[in-house]
Amino acid sequence: MALAQGAVATVLLSLAGIAVGVPAGLVFALIRWAKIPILAQIVAAYVSVIRATPLVTLVLLIFFALPGIGIPVDPIPAAIISLSLNTAAFNCEIWRSALNDFPKAQVEAAEATGMSPVVAFRYIIFPQIWRISLPALVNEITLLIKNSPAVAIVGVVDITRAAVRIGAQTYDPLPPFLIATVMYAVIVFVFVKAQASIETAMTRKFDF
Amino acid sequence: MLQEFSIVLDHKDRLLIGLGNTVWIATISTILSTVIGAALAMALMSRHVMLRRAVRVFIDAMRCVPFLLLAYIVYYGLPSLGVRFDNLSAGIASLSLYNAAYMGEILRGAWVSLPKEYAEAGEAYGFHGFKLFHRIIMPSLVLAAVPVLGNQVIQIVKDTAFLTIIAVPELTHEASAIQSMYYVPFGAFVAAIALYWLICRMVEFVVQYTEHLADLRR
Amino acid sequence: MTAEPHLAHRAAPASTERPVIEVRSLWKKFGDLPVLNDISLNVERGKTICVLGPSGSGKSTFLRCLNWLEKPDHGEIFLSGKRIGYREGSDIPMSAKEIAVTRARIGMVFQHFNLWPHLTVLGNIIAAPLHVQHRNRAEIVAEAEALLRKVGLFEKRDVYPAKLSGGQKQRVAIARALAMRPELLLFDEATSALDPELVGEVITVMEDLAKEGMTMVVVTHEMHFAREAADEILFLDRGFVVEHAPPAQFFDNPSSDRVKQFLQRFVR
């Protein structure tokens, strides 16, 4: 039962991280792609630091340091902020590589028909790059899920933490750990499977 | 905020001890996971179907489990099967085992895309079996996979931070200790993150340098 | 080739008497390499200008300046009397959005078609009228279908570009440009990437457009098209205008040796 609640927490926290991190990553990637001065450098520095920062350390920083600068934060918001900050940096790199690889000729064709950069992005570029980025984004999602137990350090009870608690109560930690393992496998499998079926549907539709 | 940093600077010894522990734990785990990963890659490429399947199941299982859960299984779970580790060896064992699965997959990927001529040329000169792998295939694999391997090493460095939860005195653990003693959360964790960043830049530098050397020899 | 969609208004005289395109002394360098040196050209409404020249002569760059895909270093371009690239009466560069408004009035057909692979044939044609001009969808679809009939591809309306041959792709690209009801059409070596047996179908469409009074600037290597369909030939070499003449004079009695040399390669 506690494990089921932990599973809900893990899924919801990951979904929250994805919901913030994937679009934020796209915005960061666009800032770098458009080479907006200063902002682009800030994003580059942010990505470089986050890629080197363990999630545990990031959660600790957010949870303990934010109150210090006058922003009180509960464990769950701290967890969501950390997961989002973390995954946004990796998503930024995924979107950025899709943008950099996007055929310039197609952008020119859009420009030549009088599309403004915003219109061209909305109707020509984005519908194609999300599809190209999807496998990498889902891979990053599975990494995020596997990283999510880090939030237990500030007291959020996710699958891993729930398994530890049960093990401590029953003095037999292996069974809850094995059930937890299966739970993670199922969650990861659902995402990978969803990505594969979107991929198949898309291939059928566009035939390439 | 500046005050926080000066307090952290006063206790830099602890932070540096943590840094040292993180570095050597990551180094040992990198070496062990590469060796185990190479063995897994060999098994994945072997002719024995059963061996291939067994290793595949192991790798897929490892890639489903969060690292922290594996660390818990090794530290808290295995004693009930009679295998007992202290926290440090539990940490190193789980880091090595976990990342070996990823290393195995990386090396297998590089192996598959390796031009056949390497192995054939090796065979033509009388290399075979383990010697062929050890002398001819492995060096070309590592060289081809250096950037991806570098990413995995960075992953190992970051995974070491999880070990604070089983009280291994690594960098995040020491930063945590400093922060809880003097309430300097900002200074302590930003200092720790800066040090992690330095380690990762070093790893990236080594990767670039290796690629540069490989280019020169090509 | 039955329905003749909305070409009439293009041939009608505009409120201004000025040419559709006026180019005044255009200069452009890529780094240290001069690619356009003092090029001037007027294109009157309903005329077809063919730009010829050896590869590397600057003709594609010249064409791409006309819709500001390349920014010239010096010189001015006027579209129906309005200066392109700068705000009215000033030297302040237009924003990306303002340039887009200008480009919407100029159609362009590329060497490599540049169709958008995620949209069907119809989707490619209606995208810009829908999202740039914000015209009524039903009206655009009807017009797009008429254009597809005109280029002989109505039955391909729901197919994705990946399934089309090169010649078919290029005819769709022409329909896409026409759907914007442009005042001017630019062709950038529209047949150079096609297999020889597919060139004819695209040339036929281009010849029809010329006859119907579309204003066009065509960069091409098709000498037959230039001779039959062009009103004027502009010959560029190393970024200079070497000859600017009606086709009869250009092909039969060119004044420069450089042109004679160039034409000899096409004599069969």
Q: Could you read off the pLDDT of A101-143 as tens digits, one per residue?
A: 999 999 999 999 999 999 999 999 999 999 999 989 999 999 9
- Mapping DSSP to helix (H, G, I), strand (E, B) and coil, where does residue A178 land? helix
The CATH architecture one would assign to domain C8-264 is 3-Layer(aba) Sandwich (3.40)
Amino acid type, B62: M
- Please give the CATH topology (third level) of the domain spanning B2-217: MetI-like fold (1.10.3720)
- Mapping DSSP to helix (H, G, I), strand (E, B) and coil, where does residue C14 land? coil
Spell out the domains of chain A, with CATH numbers in brackets: 2-206 (1.10.3720.10)
Q: Which residue has the tokens 């059963």?
A: B50
B66 has a chain A CB within 8 A of its CB: yes
A-C interface: how many C-beta pairs under 8 angstroms? 81
8 Å CB contact of A207 and C162: yes
Q: What is the mean pLDDT of chain A?
A: 92
| A49, A68, A145 ranked by CB distance to B193: nearest | A49
Task: List chain C domain ranges.
Answer: 8-264
8 Å CB contact of B72 and A164: yes
Best mutation target among B165, B182, B201, B203 (most A Cβ atoms within 10 Å) is B165
How do C48-52 and C232-237 pair as beta strands? parallel
Q: Look at residue B201 in the predicted model and tell me its pLDDT.
A: 95
B185 has a chain A CB within 8 A of its CB: yes
Which chains form contacts with chain B, at 3 or more CB pairs under 8 Å?
A: A
Closest CA to B189 of C160, C40, A54: A54
8 Å CB contact of A61 and B77: no
Q: How far apart are CA A144 and CA A150, in angstroms?
A: 10
Q: Look at residue C11 in the predicted model and tell me its pLDDT.
A: 47
8 Å CB contact of C132 and A115: yes
8 Å CB contact of A53 and B186: no
Interfacial residues of C (vs A; Cβ cutoff 8 Å): 67, 69, 96-97, 100-108, 110, 112, 114-118, 127-128, 131-133, 160, 162-163, 176-177, 180
B189 exposed, middle or buried (CB, 10 Å; 0-12, 13-18, 19+)? buried
Q: In percent, how much of chain C has pLDDT > 90?
A: 87
Q: What is the DSSP string of A102-146?
A: S-HHHHHHHHHTT--HHHHIIIIIHHHHHHHHHHHHHHHHHHHHH
Residues of C in contact with A121 (CB under 8 A): none
Q: What is the DSSP string of A9-76?
A: HHHHHHHHHHHHHHHHHHHHHHHHHTT-TTHHHHHHHHHHHHHHS-HHHHHHHHHHHHHHTT----HH
Q: Flag whether pLDDT at C104 surpasses 70.
A: yes
Q: What is the mean pLDDT of chain C?
A: 90
Best mutation target among B8, B162, B174, B198 (most A Cβ atoms within 10 Å) is B162
Task: Give A202 to chain B, closest Cα distance, Å.
Answer: 26
Q: How far apart are CA C65 and CA C59, in angstroms?
A: 10
Residues of A in contact with C132 (CB under 8 A): 113-116, 119
Q: Flag whether pLDDT at A159 surpasses 70.
A: yes
**Of A22-36, B117-131, B204-218, C235-249, which range is least confident?**
B117-131
Q: Which pair of structure tokens corresponds to residue B107?
A: 């090396």
Q: Look at residue C1 in the predicted model and tell me its pLDDT.
A: 41
Could you give the angle at the alpha carbon of A150 between the alpha carbons of B81 and A20, nearest 5°? 140
Residues of B in contact with A189 (CB under 8 A): 64
Q: Could you read off the pLDDT of C41-100 as tens digits, one per residue?
A: 999 999 999 999 998 899 999 999 999 999 999 999 999 989 999 998 888 999 988 999
Residues of A in contact with B190 (CB under 8 A): 61, 65
| Average confidence (pLDDT) over B65-88 | 88
- Mapping DSSP to helix (H, G, I), strand (E, B) and coil, where does residue C59 land? helix
**Of A188-197, B131-140, B189-198, which range is least confident?**
B131-140
How do C216-219 and C232-237 pair as beta strands? unpaired
Q: Flag whether pLDDT at C7 surpasses 50.
A: no
Residue of B nearest to A178 (CA): B73
Q: Which pair of structure tokens corresponds to residue B51?
A: 């061996």
8 Å CB contact of A108 and C110: yes
Q: How far apart are CA B73 and CA B84, in angstroms?
A: 11
Q: How confident is the model at residue C10 (pLDDT cuts 50, 70, 90)?
A: very low
Task: Give C128 to chain A, closest Cα distance, Å.
Answer: 6
A14 has a chain B CB within 8 A of its CB: no
Determine the length of chain B.
Answer: 218
Q: Flag whether pLDDT at B136 surpasses 90.
A: no
Q: In percent, how much of chain A has pLDDT > 70?
A: 99
Q: Look at residue C141 in the predicted model and tell me its pLDDT.
A: 96
B147 has a chain A CB within 8 A of its CB: no
Could you give the angle at the alpha carbon of C158 between the alpha carbons of C156 and C160, nearest 5°? 85
Q: How far apart are CA B67 and CA C253, in angstroms?
A: 81
Q: Which residue has the tokens 């989707």?
A: C123
A44 has a chain B CB within 8 A of its CB: no
Q: Look at residue C39 in the predicted model and tell me its pLDDT.
A: 95
Best mutation target among C131, C140, C183 (most A Cβ atoms within 10 Å) is C131
Residues of A in contact with B193 (CB under 8 A): 49, 52-53, 57-58, 61
Q: What is the mean pLDDT of chain B?
A: 88
| C106, C112, C118 ranked by CB distance to A127: nearest | C118
Residues of B in contact with A94 (CB under 8 A): none
Q: Which CA distances in Å does C78 have to C10, C75, C81, C94?
A: 18, 10, 5, 14
Q: Look at residue C8 in the predicted model and tell me its pLDDT.
A: 41
Task: Give C158 to chain A, closest Cα distance, Å.
Answer: 11
Q: Flag whether pLDDT at A208 surpasses 70.
A: no
Q: Could you read off the pLDDT of C123-146 as tens digits, one per residue?
A: 999 999 999 999 999 999 999 999
- Per-residue burial over A126-160, b = 16 or more CB atoms within 10 Å of its CB, e = otherwise: bebbebbbbebbbebbbbbbbbbbbbbbbebbbbb
Residue of B nearest to A66 (CA): B186
Residues of A in contact with B165 (CB under 8 A): 56, 152-153
Q: Look at residue C17 in the predicted model and tell me its pLDDT.
A: 67
Residue of B nearest to A53 (CA): B193
8 Å CB contact of C106 and A109: no
